[in-house]
Chains A and B, each alone.
Chain A
């Protein structure tokens, strides 16, 4: 479909063949650089800022010896995961509203002027990443916690006898023991580097933040479904799918080499 000038009544094979026209158009347009940049930056920030959070949370939860408190902490930290994207973005619009949102109320009380978080290009990525951290850290921490639980207690006892402090025990025992899990999660994340939560971006962006918020998937949605440019949007989608494919395959090859673990 991305190689023809698609016309719904003529079908794929009845439409005129245009070769690589849509791809050339994509690469030549200013949009392409913008989409690629936005897509890559959101993923990069997600790896840099989101990725370590569940690990820290799991390490912290594991150090809590009071069982009821730990259970309560777990229940509460996974809760946001079960809330829908629409609810999260709805809550963001209310909480971050410049006139009546609680966040700006707190900022005002501290003597800072209201910030229009949802309508400001400089804030879009920050808000996106923070809401990701808020929603998914607790849930992802479960994977690390289950890896930590598998570590043998003898290691800790030996370290304790040798006089290692709790921080040293984390640094020299817990982290090395869950390193394979961390590596696998990192590789999975890199394999999905092109996959940004477009359902959330689609709800979050608006004309003011479009410049930094628009990513491949949201562009495909607008071009294809809203403006009905089926062929050119399929070409964009295909291009993205190709990059993703290469990334997944290389991440998997890498994980086979490094950790002897493969996705399939």
Chain B
């Protein structure tokens, strides 16, 4: 009897490990295949001989990707949009969250309702578009930043963090003669460093990964962020920028490799920082869910 129990547990352990290993393989496999194809020679790719290890390793596709001016330009755009998005969001969110965390704010209930109401009912895509358009922001950097720099979720996250700090801090700072701005900037913000770190990372990832703002509000390719360029190259299959670069078509790597290399280049910044910053992300998710 005892033996059977142990065997049952062993079998169970085995099954769990097997299933989790399968899940890990499923998660990694697409990445490995894309990376392998991006490093493989043309002949091997067209023979469909590449699985998760590169065949006839070559950097040919990467040479094309790195020489592509559109990619470099959009990399610059993406970095600019991401940093502006993070800076603007942190500023606006802090300025909204701080007063909302104070019980003595006049009309606090009404303001809170007003803020949260937008999460359950909002005008939608077209009215927002009309507002952006009538403010003359179409095709400007402002259109990518301003409509997106405030999210209720982040504001509530920060507000909860501020509310968690003891109010004696504020009183003693008042006595020492600090203004409201001073109290916020010198006391509350530094004390909330961990949540700011998490917010910064989450905002940066969202901004880097988004394509919708650019699709809606930009029509000048020179202003496109990286994600839009990737969309054109891989999903819409526009390889013109690569064809122009090759002296003759025969020198061009397989389309599959070129596209894979482009994907790898777009993912690279996030994949590079991800293992180190992972715990911050998890913290951010859990901070948010405590409230729910």
Contact = CB atoms under 8 A, between A and B. Distances in A.
Interface of A: 1, 57, 60-61, 63-64, 69, 72-73, 75-80, 82-87, 89-91, 93-95, 97, 100, 102, 105, 134, 137-139, 142-143, 146, 163, 165-167, 184, 188, 199, 202-203, 217, 220-221, 224-225, 230, 233-234, 237-238, 240-241, 244-245, 248-249, 261, 263-264
19 contacts: A1-B126, A1-B127, A57-B23, A73-B23, A73-B24, A79-B271, A85-B211, A86-B227, A86-B230, A87-B266, A100-B45, A102-B33, A102-B50, A134-B27, A225-B129, A225-B216, A233-B125, A237-B123, A241-B121
B292 A94 contact: no
B122 A241 contact: yes
Nearest to A133: B26
Interface of B, secondary structure class, is helix
Interface stretch (B63-71, B96-104, B255-263): B255-263
B230 A90 contact: yes
Nearest to A252: B120
A52 to B, nearest CB: 14
Contact of B126 (A72, A83, A142, A220): A220
A84 B130 contact: no
Which 9 A-B residue pairs are closest in the complex by CB-CB distance? A237-B124, A84-B209, A90-B234, A224-B126, A86-B227, A234-B126, A63-B16, A245-B121, A248-B120
Given A79-B274, A230-B126, A90 B235 contact: yes
Interface string B109-122: 00000001000111
Nearest to B28: A76
B8 interface: yes
Given A60-B16, A83-B209, A134-B26, 4 more contacts: A76-B27, A90-B230, A100-B256, A237-B127
B92 to A, nearest CB: 21
Contacts of A82: 205, 209, 270-271, 274, 281
A77 B27 contact: yes
Nearest to A135: B27
A75 B278 contact: yes
Given A234-B126, A238-B124, A165 B26 contact: no
Contacts of A240: 124
Contacts of B278: 75, 78
Nearest to B18: A60
A60 B19 contact: yes
B285 interface: yes
Contacts of A63: 12-13, 16
A188 B292 contact: yes
Contact of A73 (B5, B20, B125, B208): B20
